[in-house]
Amino acid sequence: MKKIINATPQAFEIDTDHTALWVIDVQPDFFERGGFADVGQGLDVRWLQPILPGIRELVELARSSGIRVIFTREAYRPDLRDVPEPWLRAPEHSRIGSQGRDNNGKWRFLIDGERGTELIIQTKPEDIIIRKASKDAFVRPFIENRRTDLRKKLSQLGLRQFLFTGATSGVCGSSTISRSSDEGFESGIIKDLMADYDHGIHAAAMKNAGGRDQKWPWISACLTTADAVKRALAARS
Amino acid sequence: MKKIINATPQAFEIDTDHTALWVIDVQPDFFERGGFADVGQGLDVRWLQPILPGIRELVELARSSGIRVIFTREAYRPDLRDVPEPWLRAPEHSRIGSQGRDNNGKWRFLIDGERGTELIIQTKPEDIIIRKASKDAFVRPFIENRRTDLRKKLSQLGLRQFLFTGATSGVCGSSTISRSSDEGFESGIIKDLMADYDHGIHAAAMKNAGGRDQKWPWISACLTTADAVKRALAARS
Amino acid sequence: MKKIINATPQAFEIDTDHTALWVIDVQPDFFERGGFADVGQGLDVRWLQPILPGIRELVELARSSGIRVIFTREAYRPDLRDVPEPWLRAPEHSRIGSQGRDNNGKWRFLIDGERGTELIIQTKPEDIIIRKASKDAFVRPFIENRRTDLRKKLSQLGLRQFLFTGATSGVCGSSTISRSSDEGFESGIIKDLMADYDHGIHAAAMKNAGGRDQKWPWISACLTTADAVKRALAARS
Amino acid sequence: MKKIINATPQAFEIDTDHTALWVIDVQPDFFERGGFADVGQGLDVRWLQPILPGIRELVELARSSGIRVIFTREAYRPDLRDVPEPWLRAPEHSRIGSQGRDNNGKWRFLIDGERGTELIIQTKPEDIIIRKASKDAFVRPFIENRRTDLRKKLSQLGLRQFLFTGATSGVCGSSTISRSSDEGFESGIIKDLMADYDHGIHAAAMKNAGGRDQKWPWISACLTTADAVKRALAARS
C-alpha cells in the first residue's frame, strides 16, 4: 500500500509491501549500564535511552501495517575469528570480547550468545534478524548463522525502502544508511528515534544523511519523525 | 620503513611499504565553481579550497618517501548505467549527468570523461587511480575501466594502512574511512587536509572517525595533521 | 576550603567559600511537556530530562559542602513590560505570555507567577534566586523583585567562581557563562549536567565555552563532570 | 529606506536609516599568521580568510546605501589594566600582551596600538569604531578612548537593527549577537561572511543565533547571506 510520509527535503512516498522498519543495534552493549559502551568505552548511556519507548511503539505499528521489521545486532563469534585484526589491539578494557567490570550482569563485550548482544525489543518470527560482525551491516552480515549477501537478500525479499531507527547515529547508523543509498535503496531516517552518545555527532549524522538542507537528499535519504510516520500509516490511502 | 606519526588518541605507527596516502575526490565537480557542488547543489566551494596546497605538498612528499598514492574520483558512465536508480530521480538541475549552467566551462556533472571528474592534482604512473560509481570507494570501484574487488586489490598491493585527505569529510570521506576499518585496514585521518561544505558535518566527521575523544579509536582511525606527518617522514627511524 | 576538580584543559582549583553552584533555568517552561519549549516552540523536552537527577544530587552536595547555590529562572512580568519589544512580534503561539494548548496544566509562557517559571528543584532560604528578563542573567536580573547589578551583587557576596549546570546549553547557558568570563569570574562547566534540545548546539556550546581543545580555556571556563566534582568535594584537602 | 532581505526563518525587513552593518574583530590577531590566534592559540587562520573579500564588498555597498558601518576590534590597554584578572593567568605563550614568536611582524597580542589590533579593512570617518576589552562588545566598549554605554550610544545614533559579519562565530560573534537581542535590537546574521577556526562551533553558532530551524528566531536574529543582502539593497523599494 502506498503511504506518503511528511519529510525533508521532500515527502517520502513508500509502498508498505516493499518497505522495512530497520532497528539498528538496540542491545545492552550499547544501551545499558555495565556493557561495552558504558564500561568499555566510558560513554554515557543516558543519551540513548529516550528513544526506546518510541521505537517499541513503531515496531508494533509497523507489524500491524504490513511493514517488515529488520533488527541488526553487532555480535562477534566467541572465538573472535570474525573481528578485524586491528580491533583486537585495542586496550584490554575496551576490547571486543573483554568482560564488563560492573555488578549488574557480567558479560563479554559484543559477543554472540552473551547478554550484551541480545535484542532489547521482543522479536517475532517474521522479523528479519541480522547478526553483523561489522559496523556497516552490509559488510559481514549473518542470517541464521549463515554469511549473507545482504543487498541480494533484501532485494529478494522485495525490499526497496527503509525507515531507520536505533543507534548509534554516527557509527553503525551512518555507515549502514549511506551504504543503503550506494546499493540503490531509498531511506527515511526517523530522526527522533536515533541517538548517539556524542550530541554533535548525532546532529551532524542526521543532517548529513538527511540531505544537508539541500533540495534533494544527497545520499537518498529523507529526514522524518515518529509522528510523521504514525500519521502516514494511519491515513487511508 | 617504520615511522611514528603523532596522532590522537594514540600515535599511528606506519610501515611506509604498506601505507598509502589516499586523496579523495579532488576534482572540479566538488572543488570548483561551475560544477556539481556549486551549480547543481548550491554548495559553497570556498570551504574546500584551503586544503589543496597542503594536499599537493603531501602527495610530493609521499612519493619521495616511498608511500603509494591512491586517488579516487567519483565519475559515472556517460550512459548513466552505473548510477543507482533512485539518484536519477533527483531534480533535473542537481542530477548526475545534468549540465552546469555557468560560463566558466560547461560539463555534465560527475560524468567520466568530462572536465568535472578529472583529477585536479597531477598523477604519476605509479599512483593507484580509482574511478568509483559510489560514495564509499569499496562499493563500485573501477581500475583501468575494470570493476575491482577493492579490498582484495589493495591487499594484493601489500597495503594495510591509509592516510586520508580530500573531500567531502561527511560523504565520500566518512563512508570510505569507516569501510576501510570494517575491512581490516588501519587509518590516520589528516584532519587539516580534509574539508566539507558544511562546517558542522566536517567537525563531527573528523571526531567520529578519529576516536571521539576515547582512549582507542572506535573505528580504527587516528586523527593527525599535515605537520605531524611531515615531521614523522623527515625523522630518521 | 580549597578543592581541586579534575577538568580540561586544566584542573579547576576552587575555594568553596567563594564558589557557587549555578543552576540555570530548571523550570517547567523548558523541561516539561505543555510549556513554552514543547508547545510554543515545538522542541523535544526528552533531551533535557536526563540531567535532572544529577543536578538534584549536586545541589544537595553543594549545600552540605558550604558551596552557595544560585538558581536563575527566566520569567517576565505579567504585563510584559520587561520583554524586549521585538520579541513581542513573535507568532502568537510561540510568544512570551501566550498560553499552552495542552491539557496537563495550562500556564502563560515564561510569566512570573505562573507554573512554567517555578523552579523544579526545591530551594532553601540561603540560596540565591534570580529572576531574569533576559537570556544572559547579567542583563536584566531581579533579586526579591528588585533590579540588581549582578556583577556587583555576586562580588559583594564574596563569589568569584561558578560551577554551571542547567539549560539550555546554547542560549541561556552560553550567554551567561561567556558573560561571567567577561566580568572576571572563573567557571567550571559540568558538561553532563547541561543540556539542549538541539544536540549539535549542546556539543558545540560545551566545547566553545570549555576551551576548544586548547591549552588554556579561551573564555575562562573549564569542562568538568558531575563525578569529578563529587570526587573533589569528597577529598580531604 | 525600507528593504526586505530574504532570510530564515522569515524575511528581515530593515530600514536603512536605522540599520548598521557590523564587522566583528577583522584584525590581524585573529585573521593572520603570526598573531594571537595562530601563534598564541595554535588555531588555523586558513578558515577565516575566505570571508574577507565578501566583507569588503558589503562594506562598500553598505556605505553607498546609507547603512552605517560598525567595526569592533578587541584590544586591551598596553598596561593590561582592562584585562579581566583570571585571563592574565593564561600560560605565557597564549596570554594577552605576550609577543608573537614568528618572523612576519612581531607584535604584542591583542594590545591597542600594536599591529595585531589594527583593522584589516579601511575605515571611513563616518564609521563607528569600537575598541572593546571584552568578548561581548557591550561589556567594556570604548569609542574614541572613552568608556561607553553601548546600548544607549547605538540607540542615540538611531540604530535599531544590525547585519552581522566577522569573527569568530563562537566567541565574539555569539556573545555580541545574543546580547544585542537581549538589549532589544534586531539582527540578521550574514552566515557566509562569518567564520570560526572550529567548524563545528561555527555551524552551531549560526544555527543557534539564527533560530534553530524554528518558526521564529528565538534570540531575534535571522540568518541571511551576502547575496540576499545585495539583492535586497539593489531592489527599488
Instruction: Say if residue A128's pLDDT is above 70.
Output: yes
* Amino acid making up residue D113: G
Higher-pLDDT residue of A98 and C72 is C72
B200 lies within 8 A of chain C by CB: yes
What is this model's ipTM?
0.94
Chain B: closest CA distance from residue A205 (Å) = 7
Per the listing, cell 556539481 goes with B36
Neighbours of B231 (CB within 10 A): 14
Mutate to test the interface with C, among A199, A206, A223, A225 (most CBs of C within 10 A): A199
How confident is the model at residue B211, as a pLDDT?
74
Chain D: closest CA distance from residue C201 (Å) = 5
Higher-pLDDT residue of C42 and D117 is D117
With cut-offs at 50, 70 and 90, classify the pLDDT of residue C169: very high
Give the separation between CA B211 and CA A9, rounded to whole angstroms: 31
Instruction: Say if residue D237's pLDDT is above 90.
Output: no
**Mean pLDDT over residues B130-152, rounded?**
97
**Mean pLDDT over residues C46-61, rounded?**
97
Q: Which residues are CB-neighbours of D196 under 8 A, at least 6 positions away?
A: B199, D47, D48, D167, D168, D169, D170, D171, D173, D202, D205
Chain D: closest CA distance from residue A95 (Å) = 29
Which cell goes with B82?
552505473
Instruction: Say if residue D216's pLDDT is above 90.
Output: no
Instruction: Say if residue D165's pLDDT is above 70.
Output: yes
B125 lies within 8 A of chain A by CB: no
Give the separation between CA C142 and CA C140, rounded to whole angstroms: 7
With cut-offs at 50, 70 and 90, classify the pLDDT of residue A93: confident
Instruction: Say if residue C22's pLDDT is above 90.
Output: yes
**Mean pLDDT over residues C207-211, rounded?**
84
CB D67 within 8 A of CB D15: no
Instruction: Say if residue C144's pLDDT is above 90.
Output: yes
DSSP code at position B171: I
Whether residues B86 and A140 touch (CB distance < 8 A) is answered with no
Instruction: Say if residue C175's pLDDT is above 90.
Output: yes
From A139-148, A218-227, D125-134, the region with the lowest mean pLDDT: A218-227
Give the separation between CA C201 and CA C197, rounded to whole angstroms: 8
Dihedral sign (CA D110, D112, D113, D117): positive
3-state secondary structure C76-142: ECCCCCCCCHHHHHCCHHHCCCCECCCCCCCCECCECCCHHHCCCCCCCCCCEEEEECCCCCCCCEE
How confident is the model at residue B90, as a pLDDT?
87
How confident is the model at residue B216, as a pLDDT?
67
> Which residue, C81, C193, C90, C190, is CA-closest to C140?
C81
Average pLDDT of chain B is 93
User: Among all residues of chain A, which has the CA nearest to that of D204?
Assistant: A200
Mutate to test the interface with D, among C12, C15, C172, C179 (most CBs of D within 10 A): C179
CB A120 within 8 A of CB A52: yes
Q: A171's torsion region: left (phi>0), alpha (psi -120 to 50) or beta?
A: alpha
How confident is the model at residue C210, as a pLDDT?
79
Burial of B115 (0-12, 13-18, 19+ CB in 10 A): middle
With cut-offs at 50, 70 and 90, classify the pLDDT of residue B147: very high
With cut-offs at 50, 70 and 90, classify the pLDDT of residue A224: very high
**Mean pLDDT over residues D196-211, rounded?**
90
With cut-offs at 50, 70 and 90, classify the pLDDT of residue B186: very high
Percent of chain B with pLDDT over 90: 83
Percent of chain A with pLDDT over 90: 83
With cut-offs at 50, 70 and 90, classify the pLDDT of residue D101: low
**Run of H or E including A71:** strand A68-74
Whether residues A200 and C198 touch (CB distance < 8 A) is answered with no
Residues of chain B contacting residue C213, judged by C-beta atoms under 8 Å apart: none
Whether residues A200 and C203 touch (CB distance < 8 A) is answered with yes
**Run of H or E including A191:** strand A186-195
| pLDDT tens, position by position, A19-32 | 999 999 999 999 99
Higher-pLDDT residue of C10 and B167 is B167
Which of the other chains make 3 or more beta carbon contacts under 8 angstroms with chain D? Answer: A, B, C
> Bridge-partner residues for B73, per DSSP?
B131
**Mean pLDDT over residues D209-235, rounded?**
84
How confident is the model at residue C220, as a pLDDT?
73
Q: What pTM was estimated for this model as a whole?
A: 0.90
* Amino acid making up residue D134: S
How confident is the model at residue A104, as a pLDDT?
61
Mutate to test the interface with A, among C52, C197, C198, C199 (most CBs of A within 10 A): C199
3-state secondary structure B117-148: HCCCCCCCCCCEEEEECCCCCCCCEEECCEEC
CB B208 within 8 A of CB B178: no
Instruction: Say if residue C104's pLDDT is above 70.
Output: no
Residues of chain A contacting residue B42, judged by C-beta atoms under 8 Å apart: 214-215
Give the separation between CA A235 and CA A14, rounded to whole angstroms: 13
With cut-offs at 50, 70 and 90, classify the pLDDT of residue C176: very high
Q: A208's torsion region: left (phi>0), alpha (psi -120 to 50) or beta?
A: alpha
| pLDDT tens, position by position, B3-38 | 999 999 889 999 999 999 999 999 999 999 999 999
| pLDDT tens, position by position, D128-160 | 999 999 999 999 999 999 999 999 999 999 999
